[in-house]
Chains A and B, each alone.
Chain A
């Protein structure tokens, strides 16, 4: 792997950048691996990287039915924050946030992590109370979260409309200054390049069509490019997790929904933070290219279609114009949908299964991107040791039997 640096940049500039090697290898699948990871999105590639880098397991394949980072990794609104309500989530998302720091240096790939703060707005009396509760819980867990008055919100984000004449005026805001955004593609590419350099095979256009299971344990995966033998399979397939689980005869507490987002035409810098609002239902940030990145809620019905309905878009645009009348003449460039995997308690599953050697990391729902490094890190531990990482231990399938649900619907219902 060529180390990316100012010197390699200068060296390659001398021959007009024709000499750069490819960032990751494109190998043919071998007949067997120690671990097969299903899904080459951010979480799957991070899992592969930490398996190789921290647990010394390098005979690993990452299978991807489409192209690398082409699922939800390439379809989200790139928001990173860690202000969750429950202790178990505070630990898990806090772990992820700590890994975002310095990730570009670790991977030698600029993931463009930008700590620009996330400002969440409250518009109703109920939301105000929920925000105060979240603030208190966060303080107890040592998470930085500030409560702001509408005037302080306006000072932090000057284009915000805090007029009392709105249908749902801004009553308060909560600000996590350490939160921010990162470049979603770069996260997938950075992990892919670093994992590939450690010996991990990333195999694209290779769809898993079934599992070989004998005596209650995994023996291999059937793929569109033939049988691959392995003792451990780690599924990180987001919205398609139920489909994979079905191949192993398992049921998951997951439902798949479309989550849409859209971007505007590029603007000069105008919005230097991320704002989100649950009541009027929109979240907005500005990308480094200048486009506004706008997201909102899921479509209510189950879907695998990677597209949603227009009423959702209409409502989120109305909400954005309420909060930012300045954007009223802005044109939108494109919209897309991703298939998110929702658990009833809005918390993920990082779990072993009744099939020995089969693991699932899914259920991240509408907010998985922020957790990418932490998710991969703890899941690699779970797969390597066949025991959950301490941070992952509360997030197993068993919680639906014991009743120890980790309800994050307050902190996560929309605002991802």
Chain B
């Protein structure tokens, strides 16, 4: 069971949350000029790193707000959580 610190509510059990996948994927602004390969990259290709991962979570059974987290995909350690729109925290320890 992960213990995830919601930036708004504090530490809560994992099953209060819903996972939202990779964070910081911005919708392209040049949609009209993009080729299919660019769309494939935006829609489907993912970093999927072994190690530090920037990802989105929803505190579904809590405050109901989305936020971002930096988590290690090997140790499962939640290194940082931060509000949507905040800058990425550094990935190094």
A interface, CB within 8 angstroms of B:
240, 242-243, 246, 251-256, 300-305, 309-311, 344, 400-402
Contact = CB atoms under 8 A, between A and B. Distances in A.
Contacts of A246: 49
Given A301-B19, A311-B1, A402-B36, A251 B71 contact: no
Given A301-B19, A303-B76, A304-B74, A400 B44 contact: yes
B44 A303 contact: no
A251 B45 contact: yes
A254 B53 CA distance: 14
A305 B75 contact: yes
B15 A301 contact: no
Interface in B31-60: 36-37, 39-41, 43-50, 53, 55
Given A302-B55, A309-B2, 10 more contacts: A242-B47, A243-B50, A251-B46, A253-B46, A255-B46, A256-B48, A302-B21, A304-B74, A344-B43, A401-B40
20 contacts: A242-B47, A242-B49, A251-B46, A251-B47, A252-B45, A252-B48, A253-B45, A254-B46, A255-B21, A255-B48, A301-B2, A301-B55, A302-B22, A302-B73, A303-B73, A303-B74, A305-B74, A311-B15, A400-B45, A401-B36
A309 B46 contact: no
Given A300-B18, A302-B55, A400 B48 contact: no
B1 A309 contact: yes
B73 A256 contact: yes
B11 interface: no
Contacts of B39: 401
A306 to B, nearest CB: 9
Given A301-B71, A309-B14, A311-B1, A344 B21 contact: no
Contact of A302 (B18, B41, B43, B53): B53
The dominant DSSP class at the B interface is: mixed
Closest 8 CB pairs of A and B: A253-B44, A242-B48, A300-B19, A251-B45, A400-B40, A401-B36, A401-B40, A304-B50
A401 B55 contact: no
B50 A240 contact: yes
From B37, B40, B41, B53, name the one whose CB has the most chain A CB atoms within 10 angstroms: B40
Contacts of A240: 50
Contacts of B2: 301, 309
Given A309-B1, A309-B14, A304 B73 contact: yes
Given A251-B41, A310-B1, A401-B39, A305 B76 contact: yes
Contact of B48 (A302, A344, A402): A302
Interface in B15-35: 15, 18-19, 21-22
Contacts of A402: 36
A92 B83 CA distance: 44
A126 to B, nearest CB: 20
A42 B35 CA distance: 37
A300 B18 CA distance: 8
From A253, A256, A301, A311, name the one whose CB has the most chain B CB atoms within 10 angstroms: A301
Nearest to A245: B48
Nearest to B36: A401
A246 B50 CA distance: 11
Contacts of A253: 40, 44-46
Contacts of B75: 305
Nearest to B39: A401
B46 A242 contact: yes
Contacts of A344: 43-44
Nearest to B46: A255
Contacts of A400: 40, 43-45
B57 to A, nearest CB: 9
A371 to B, nearest CB: 21
A254 B48 contact: yes
A252 B22 CA distance: 14
A304 B53 CA distance: 11
From A254, A302, A305, name the one whose CB has the most chain B CB atoms within 10 angstroms: A302
Contacts of B37: 401
A337 to B, nearest CB: 11
B45 to A, nearest CB: 4
Contacts of B22: 255, 302
Nearest to A307: B76
A240 B15 CA distance: 26
Contacts of A243: 50
B75 to A, nearest CB: 7
A246 B43 CA distance: 18
B69 to A, nearest CB: 9
A324 B74 CA distance: 35
